[in-house]
Amino acid sequence: MKLEQLELSAAKKPGDLLEWDDIQKMKYSWNVIYEVMRLTPPLQGTFMEVLTDFTNAGYTVPKGWKVYWTVSTTNKNLEFFPEPEKFDPSRYEDSNTCPPFTYVPFGGGPRMCPGKEYARLAILTFVHNVVKKFKWEVLHPEEKIIGDMMPTPEKGLPIRLRSH
C-alpha cells in the first residue's frame, strides 16, 4: 500500500492535489481497506423485520419478528472467505470474489449505505496523505477492539507519527 501511494505521489508535481483518476489507481490500497472492514466492520449489525416466515437450523422465525443480523459473521463465512481470520487483501483482486450479500460492511441491497463511495474517497485521500507525509507506528499492536455498535479500540489506538 505504501509503495502504491508513494508512486502516485511521485507522479505528481509539487503542490498538485489528488484527482479522481488518482483515486481509481489505488486498487491495492482499497483492497487493504476492504479487508480491514471485513475483519472489523464499521457497523456490527442491524435489526431487521422478518418479511416472511422462515426456518433455520430447525427453528421457525415468524413474519414480523425482529432479528439482529451481524455483519462480522456474514463477512467471515467460510464458504466465501477461506481462512476467514487471515488478513488477505488479495481476496479482492478478482471482481467476482464476493457474491451479493456475502461482504457487507456497507450493508446490501436497497438499504446499502448511500455514502459508500464518499467513504471510499475520504478514506483513500486520508490514507494517501498520511502515508505520503508520515511514518507511523501503532503503540499497542495487540490492542483489543471492543465490540459495541461501532468497533472501538480499547485504548483509543494511540499512534506515533514522524515526518518523512
Residues 6+ apart with CB under 8 A from 16: none
Determine whether the annotation assigns residue 98 to a binding site: no
Directed axis angle between helix 2-10 and helix 116-133, to 10°?
80
Integer Cα distance of 28 and 26 in angstroms? 6
Alpha-carbon 11 to chain mean position: 27
Residue with cell 494517501: 128
Instruction: Please report which helix (H) or strand (E) contains residue 70, including its range.
Output: strand 66-70
Cβ atoms of residues 45 and 62 within 8 Å = no
Instruction: Show binding-site residues.
Output: 113
Q: Detail the residues annotated as belonging to a binding site for heme.
A: 113
